[in-house]
Amino acid sequence: MNYRIDQTHRIERTERLPSSRRLSRRTFTALVAGAAAAVARPASAHVRRLAGETIIGEGPHTFRVKHHFPQLPDRFTWQTTHNVAVDAAGNLYVIHEGQKTKKDHPAIFVFDPAGKFIRAFGSEFQGGGHGIEIRQEGSEEFLYVCGYQGVKAFVKMTPEGEIVWFRKAPMESGAYAAGEDISTKPSWNRQGFLPTNFAFLDDGGFLLADGYGSFKIHRYDKDAKWVSAFGGAGNGKGTFNTPHGIWIDRRPAADGSAREPTIVVCDRAHHTLQTFALDGTYRDTVTGFGLPANLDTWQGLLVVPELKACVTLLDEKNQPVAKLGRAVERLDEIKNLRSVPDQWKDGEFVHPHDACFTPAGDIFVAEWVATGRITKLERLA
């Protein structure tokens, strides 16, 4: 079996790779390692075509790219995909912003692990669907969903779409203008309520990021009662400019030993991550991102989707180990790239808005594009 690297650094061969994922892993691991050494290019910029498949990354962070992985039935359309989550069975949940003029169209879609459509619901989020997370509570799983724009609420739901509870702005926090707890008019100021995402606490409570409103991080107890808040607008080091994503980092230390969990917040417009103790005390800032939007963890990795055309993987020390699908320069080269799908390239991202791991370490990426795009990065290494 012969391989060669052409002048554009693509790897070519004369036989098609076996369909078995197990065999592909072995083949690709050896092949990609050799190619990377030969061309001496960083993994972040290296996109390869192998037997009709697109491969990005290298070494233990090598992935097969499957753009447009789940497909909607003809009766539905994507309307700016926002966030993704995976349940214990491996089913994928996707929320899109939705168009407020299409009130009867669902905003949440569920697919099986192979990408086959299962069900849809959530029309109440049309025009404002944003964050979605899944939480195991006892023997059951629940969805936690954020709506911004004309929704301005957060909700706990069953995986079938039944509402358990519904909440608006926490007026007891003293952060909001009068009437914000009943308003459905977008209020893009620091006295408005436009929540973006959740992080789950071990005591059954949760944190809620008001990423487009007050810029505060709200703490709720297990009964969804407001407890306290931290953050707010500012220049960093405990304050924010668009705290868009949030996560509880429970990864072990690099040597495998346990360490205290921390809160990680995507301070998007500052292009940083900020970390906090669980009581909300500021700890440090991690730099080097382009509009970081959300977070998830798997084993020792933290994934950071960046709106500036990149999905970054960080190790236990929050050092970058891979920059996947990076295409930042094309955002400058092509005006409004998110609106011209015929200019998108395989293996490159446009505007990653959310990403989540599967139990096997694959990654789903949702992009903030009007046509909708959900990409599966299938781990090969």
Question: What pLDDT sits at residue 229?
Answer: 98
pLDDT at 37: 40
The pLDDT of residue 42 is 40
C-beta of residue 269 within 8 angstroms of C-beta of residue 263 = no
Contact between 231 and 239 (Cβ < 8 Å)? yes
Of 184, 192, 125, the closest CA to residue 150 belongs to: 184
Q: What pLDDT sits at residue 19?
A: 43
Per-domain residue ranges for the chain? Answer: 3-65, 67-376
Contact yes or no for 338/330 (Cβ under 8 A): no
C-alpha separations of 47 from 50, 69, 217 in Å: 10, 18, 38
Look-up of token digits 């879609």: 109
> How many other CB atoms are found less than 10 A from the CB of residue 162?
11
pTM (2 d.p.): 0.89
- The predicted structure's pLDDT at residue 166: 98
Tell me the DSSP string of 43-106: GGG-EEEETTEEEEEETTEEEEEETT-S---TT----SEEEEEE-TT--EEEEE---TT-TTS-
pLDDT for the residue numbered 52: 84
In DSSP notation, 134-196 reads EEEETTEEEEEEEE-TTT-EEEEE-TTS-EEEEE---GGGS-S-TTTTT--S---STTS----
What CA–CA distance (Å, rounded) separates 65 from 68?
10
Length of the chain: 381
Segment 219-246, tens digit of pLDDT: 999 999 999 999 999 999 999 999 999 9
| Ranges under pLDDT 50 in the chain | 1-42
Other Cβ atoms within 10 Å of 54 Cβ, number:
18
Q: Which CATH class is domain 67-376?
A: mainly beta
Residue with the two structure tokens 């080091």 = 237
Structure tokens at 145: 């969903």
CA distance 164 to 65: 36
Q: For residues 230 and 243, is the Cβ–Cβ distance under 8 A?
A: no
CB-CB neighbours of 123 under 10 Å: 16
The span from the CA of 100 to the CA of 108, in Å, is 14
Secondary structure (3-state) at 30: helix
Q: Please give the torsion angle defined by the CA atoms of residues 81, 82, 86 and 90, in that order, rounded to the nearest 10 degrees.
A: 10
